[in-house]
Amino acid sequence: MSFNAQEAGARLKQERERLGLSQQQAANAVGIRREMWAKYEGGAEPGAKTLAGMSACGVDILYVLTGNRSFTPPDPIAPEHRALISDYDACSSKDREALRRTAAAMALGGGVGHAPTKVRKIDIFIEESSGPVAKKLKQRDTVISVGRKKK
């Protein structure tokens, strides 16, 4: 088997794209200049220290050098999914929980574009000896009232 630096460079580019990184992001992660990363993708041969840095960033070095994967990579994340993940990561933990509940409801068919069959009202009254409890929760097409029954 002979080593082909041009093919290795093309596989390095594939790995960078699989990881969803720009040349600048990949170079920063490894600790080299973007221009040097571009040279490696063009067929220049990186040294052991650079290869170790690439490996630490998730690059499959065996694949880059030989064309044989050391693992089966997951399917790439689509740009719209990446944007959704980025927006989710920017949210507070409380907002993340609200987003998870909303996504779960939409996945069950309660999302935008689904006309409600009818609005439901559910009243739940809880007797509590330590004082009044009143809470009103509103969800799409459902109103849940929790609290003392008004007399």
Cβ atoms within 10 A of the Cβ of 59, count? 23
Structure confidence at residue 121 (pLDDT): 61
Mean pLDDT, range 97-105, rounded to an integer: 88
Dist CA 93 CA 77 (whole Å)? 23
* pLDDT the model gives residue 53: 95
Encoded amino acid at 110, one letter: G
Q: Which of 2-6, 101-105, 106-110 shows the lowest per-residue confidence on average (mean pLDDT)?
A: 106-110
pTM of the model: 0.50
The number of residues in the chain equals 151
Cβ burial 21-53 (10 Å sphere, 16+ → b, else e):
bebeebbebbebeeeebbebbeeeebeeebbeb
Is the domain 5-66 a CATH 3.90.320.10 member?
A: no
34-48 average pLDDT score: 96
Q: Check: CB of residue 66 under 8 Å from CB of residue 51.
A: no
Residues of the chain with pLDDT > 90, as a percent, come to: 49
Q: At how many degrees (to 10) do helices 5-18 and 34-41 cross?
A: 120
User: Which residues have CB under 8 Å from 116's CB, separation 6+?
Assistant: 140, 141
Residue ranges of E strands in the chain = 120-125, 134-139, 142-147
Bigger pLDDT: 149 or 28? 28
**Hey, where are the domains in the chain?**
5-66, 79-108
| Residue 101 φ then ψ, to 5° | -65, -45
pLDDT of residue 151: 60
Rounded-to-integer distance, Cα 80 and Cα 92, Å:
21
